[in-house]
Amino acid sequence: MRTEENKYSQLRAMLAITKASLRSIVRNSSAVVFNLIFPLIFIIVFGFISGGGFKIDIAVDENSDRENAVYKGLDSINTIKLMTDLKGDEIQSELEKGRIDAVINIQKNESGNITVILKTTKASPERGSIFRMMLNEVISKQNTALNSSGMPVTEIREEVVEGRKFKTIDFILPGQLGFSLLSAGVFGTAFIFISLRQTLVIKRFFATPVSKSFILIGESLSRLIFSIFSAVIIILIGNLFFGFTLVNGVITFLNMMVLSVIALSVFLGFGFVVSGIAKNESAVPSIANLITLPQFLLAGTFFPISNFPEWLQPVSRILPLTYLNEALRKISFEGASIFDVWYDILILLIWGVIVYAVAVKVFRWE
Amino acid sequence: MDSKIIQVNGLVKKYGDLTAVNGISFDVYKGEIFGLLGPNGAGKTTTLEIMETLRDKTSGEVLIDGLSVDKDQNLIKKIIGVQLQAAGYYPNLYLNELLELFAGLYNVDIDPAEILKLVDLNEKTRSKFKELSGGQKQRFSICTTIINNPKVIFLDEPTTGLDPQARRNLWELIRTIREKGTTVMLTTHYMDEAEILCDRVGIIDHGKILTIDTPDNLIDKLLHEGFERKKQIRSASLEDVFLNLTGHELRDE
């Protein structure tokens, strides 16, 4: 008989920790509230309020004339954002996805007659029709002003593009999911390690043959499993009860899961940092909020970051949650795969490298 | 001698300027109950935690069953059982789930019900750790130390804070464990406990061992030196009165 020493399996010990920790998390009601109930409440609330405060994004065809009264009239309306840097192909695909609400092409002939060619999309019928009303108003103002001096009349020609309807839930759910993953990663991990330290559970582990790194992985794994489970529930409830769009069904869902695991692994690092910095449990919320709250507000959780003032947008462009939210939306609504959102994942991974480098420095076992 | 299971030689532990353990040496023999006695802050826990491989030492040598705490930490952890002064268990888990956890940590297969029976907690299988009384918590804590069939168990002040009934019950448990061949090393600051329970004791203060011997020998030596108690010794104590009135029956508050 060989001695037992050679057969000791760190993996078995680690899985025992994961199982115990998972049981402990599930029985801890505040974890359930944070991970599941909060995001669901937001989804329900925002699922019923349709999005006010959104801008209407209008692409301007590259061949369009911009030196005319109609263009200037539209440009002066605050809620309309005229985008002039998109090319023909991009415009068409953005229009089908409902990321832009309409396209205009304004043509002026030699006699000065203006023709507005308007392309709206079924992907965004409400905002398309709001824009049509605004356009009509601008033109009729021009016409009255110009007609008195006997100048040419403006006419509209409209065409409607087929597209998927982009619902509020399609914007809100990925944002809530992203935020749920962030707060689970940061708060959950920080609380787990502080309380394991304080209740001496970790010290008792140290007296057994399991190695420190397997304790860490075992505990993190339980957090990961629980959060992914919450994510599944959030997506399913969104899909079944609020019509959340999963373009390619199961494939889209699986892509979202893979992305969630990557993002959560990065966010767990923030939790390690917080548990290292915080002296005790009561110090956790303030430090953790410092990480989560700005991202909650600025990372496009509730509003597209294009709605923010321009000076603020670069801040949003730094935050990791921004990239998770964007990537989740691209996957769920546009049917992108995990490889199509490589850029967002790259930024998340860069954050991961930074955060884990800090975590290694500040993490404490005792 | 071959039957030494613990050998401590010139052990020193310094925390900055403070010397918590100042060059202590002692041996523990296989199958005995050895008590480390001393007032609070004498260095008992530090010494114990160094032997348990939970703490680094400054200098000196510690061998557990011939294994050095410097090199063979992982081998040592497999052959010892550790009960810490403060409990460290997931408060929300049921006892059988906690035992499953420790079975995994030690890579052993156990029947939680059977182990709980050994410590008289078989009716508490579906209780959470936080719901146990002080004495039950200690008994559970000791039960996690014997899961891996260890050669030595370390108990750090196992009876502190317990009522007389629970203390006696725990002594019984410790004796049972020893009868199965496990060496027991414990710390306490209750002299009655050491006198009744321990085969040999070491008295430690300010990080130094003052004396090591059997309780009887130590008492005899003191009497030889002409010591006399101020108070007349009676053949019963107040604790006997207390137990006579309240019974030996174990209380679970």
Q: What's the whole-model pTM score?
A: 0.74
pLDDT at B100: 93
- DSSP 3-state of A245: coil
pLDDT at B252: 61
pLDDT at A200: 83
DSSP code for B94: B
Domains in chain A, please, with CATH?
10-49+167-362 (no CATH), 56-161 (3.40.190)
Residues of chain B predicted below pLDDT 50 = 1
Mutation pick from B76, B101, B126, B152 vs chain A, by most beta carbons of A within 10 Å, is B101
Q: Give Cα separations from A194 to A280, A366, B92 (angstroms).
A: 7, 9, 16
Chain B residues with CB-CB distance to A8 below 8 A: 74, 78, 107
Please indicate whether, in this complex, the C-beta atoms of A20 and B78 are within 8 angstroms of each other.
Answer: no
Instruction: Report ipTM (2 d.p.).
Output: 0.86
Handedness of CA A275, A286, A31, A41 (dihedral sign): negative
Chain A segment 224-263 residues within 8 A of B by beta carbon are none
User: How confident is the model over A274-293, as pLDDT tens digits?
Assistant: 888 888 778 888 888 888 88
How close does chain B come to A292, measured CA to CA in Å? 27
Handedness of CA A126, A129, A131, A133 (dihedral sign): negative
> A207, B82 in Cβ contact below 8 A?
yes
> A106, A171 in Cβ contact below 8 A?
no
Residues of chain A predicted below pLDDT 50 = 1-5, 51-53
Facing A20 at nearest CB: one of B80, B84, B97: B97
User: How confident is the model over A65-113, as pLDDT tens digits?
Assistant: 888 878 888 888 777 888 888 777 788 888 887 778 888 888 887 777 7
d(CA B122, CA B117): 5
pLDDT at A1: 39
Facing A209 at nearest CB: one of B54, B106, B144: B106
With DSSP H G I counted as helix, E B as strand and the rest as coil, what are the percentages for chain B, rounded to 5? 35, 25, 35
